[in-house]
Amino acid sequence: LKSFFGGGILAGVSVLISAGPTREPIDPVRYISNRSSGKMGYAIAEAAARAGAKVSLVTGPTALKTPPVNEVTWVESSEEMYRCVMSKVPFADIYIGAAAVADYAPETIADRKIKKNQSEMVLRLRKTQDILSAVSASPKRPFTVGFAAETDNLEDYAREKLATKALDMVAANWVGRDKGGFENDDNALFVCWNGGDTYLPLASKKTIAEQLIRLIAERYHAQNS
């Protein structure tokens, strides 16, 4: 399998990957989450390992089996994911943020199950920390790759995220009905970096992951040579 990558294009490189959704608790039995199977992130983790990388995967709850990588850490909330990822960033050469992190979380978590004794209820939400931006702003920052899930204006939003989050690369995918992306076995990506971009047309997430790892390895080595 390594030969597919011409002898391991990421040999000896430490890659940190976040994948899957997060769960933001409302009370002991309820949470807010995002649509995400974790398949794309896991496929990227496997492709990076096949390319010879030392892979650490930080994953939210998924129904998938643990992929064959060096280290897997399970987390639930965006807060837990933030802490876990930031603790591993100093050891990473490359960070790939493929998780569907909740943008907002309940401001307070009820310590008992909320009863349906009101005709309506209001949930106050607060913005979560942006893990990807924190990684890209960290000292000794790794080569930082973000995802962008969009229903429209994909290329524009991807370029905007590349700039505003100061990323090295953005992999953007269309989401919504019949668009691949979440909870699907196939995906298509628009990938951009400073000075270039490319389309990876609809294919299995395994194929897309291999092509993305190839692009990441090229840009990473170009920056570090």
Catalytic residues: 34
Q: Which does 36 bind (CB under 5 to 8 A by kind): Ca ion, ligand CTP, none?
A: none
Nearest CA among 56, 10, 17 for reference residue 2: 10
Give least dist CB 132 to ligand CTP, A: 3
Say whether 65 counts as a known binding-site residue: no
Of 14, 37, 78, 144, the one binding ligand CTP by CB under 6 A: 78
Of 27, 93, 103, 155, the one binding ligand CTP by CB under 6 A: 103
Q: Which does 128 bind (CB under 5 to 8 A by kind): Ca ion, ligand CTP, none?
A: ligand CTP
Our finding on whether 45 is near ligand CTP (CB under 6 A) is: no
Binding pattern for the stretch 80-119 against Ca ion, x by CB under 5 A and - elsewhere:
-----------------------x----------------
Our finding on whether 130 is near Ca ion (CB under 5 A) is: no
Q: What is the rounded CA–CA span in Å between residue 208 and residue 135?
A: 24
Residue number with the smallest Cβ distance to Ca ion: 103
- Contact residues toward ligand CTP (CB under 6 A) are 78, 97, 99, 101, 103, 128-132, 146-149, 161
Q: Binding site membership for CTP: which residues?
A: 103, 113, 147, 161, 165
What are the binding residues? 103, 113, 147, 161, 165
Query: Could you list the residues that contact Ca ion (CB under 5 A)?
Result: 103
